[in-house]
Chain A
Amino acid sequence: DAGVIQSPRHEVTEMGQEVTLRCKPISGHNSLFWYRQTMMRGLELLIYFNNNVPIDDSGMPEDRFSAKMPNASFSTLKIQPSEPRDSAVYFCASSLERQGYGGYTFGSGTRLTVV
């Protein structure tokens, strides 16, 4: 398995533009997570899906952020409009939930810079 695949690896965009981050989880994993990492706040959960259904989106900062998981092999995180404070590394992770929790596999992350 190629692991969790995220794209793009790096994204530089201007303030106000729409940004879409993509994630392909490990085949067979039934949970998918979007995390954001910044120097100030460390790693934070934005949203997670179980069996393609959003379970907890309490970490999504505001309405400018949205996430979808149209099928078991693909998810997107969209920021519209983007702002400089959204600059961070965004990680996607997947796991196979068994008995309530499972080990996680992280993607390589997308480093987003909004100028």
Chain B
Amino acid sequence: KNEVEQSPQNLTAQEGEFITINCSYSVGISALHWLQQHPGGGIVSLFMLSSGKKKHGRLIATINIQEKHSSLHITASHPRDSAVYICAVNRGAQKLVFGQGTRLTINP
């Protein structure tokens, strides 16, 4: 079993829908990261969380340390949100362990 599990693996939705991507982890962490990888391949760091909730534009990330669970939400989704979203956790000071990613496709 992977230390970081994401669901769903693939998600297709219509423009405007509310999107939720989930991440569960089985190890102690110091922080959790949400990353976005576009079809061109570049990786962008969206959020780093150690507790609570963060919001940036239409993106919201939450984490529940007790339940070892995080969610990434996208409100009013748009085709340009289509990408692979990757959850990663810090084990120890700097080492990142990655989930397998969720491929999101938003259709117009």
Contact = CB atoms under 8 A, between A and B. Distances in A.
Contacts of B42: 106, 108-109
Contacts of A101: 30-31, 48, 90, 93-94
Interface of A, secondary structure class, is strand
A105 B48 CA distance: 12
A45 B95 contact: yes
23 contacts: A33-B94, A42-B86, A43-B86, A43-B96, A45-B95, A45-B96, A48-B94, A56-B94, A91-B43, A93-B43, A95-B94, A101-B48, A101-B90, A101-B93, A101-B94, A102-B48, A106-B35, A106-B44, A106-B45, A108-B41, A108-B42, A109-B42, A109-B43
Q: Report whether over half of chain B's contact residues are helix, strand or loop; otherwise say mixed.
A: strand
Interface residues of B, number: 23
Interface in A43-75: 43-45, 48, 50, 55-56
Interface of B: 30-31, 33, 35, 41-45, 48, 86, 88, 90, 92-101
B98 A42 contact: yes
Interface in A22-52: 31, 33, 42-45, 48, 50
B41 A103 contact: no
Q: Tell me which of A31, A42, A43, A50 has the highest count of chain B C-beta atoms within 10 A of its own C-beta.
A: A43
B33 A100 contact: no
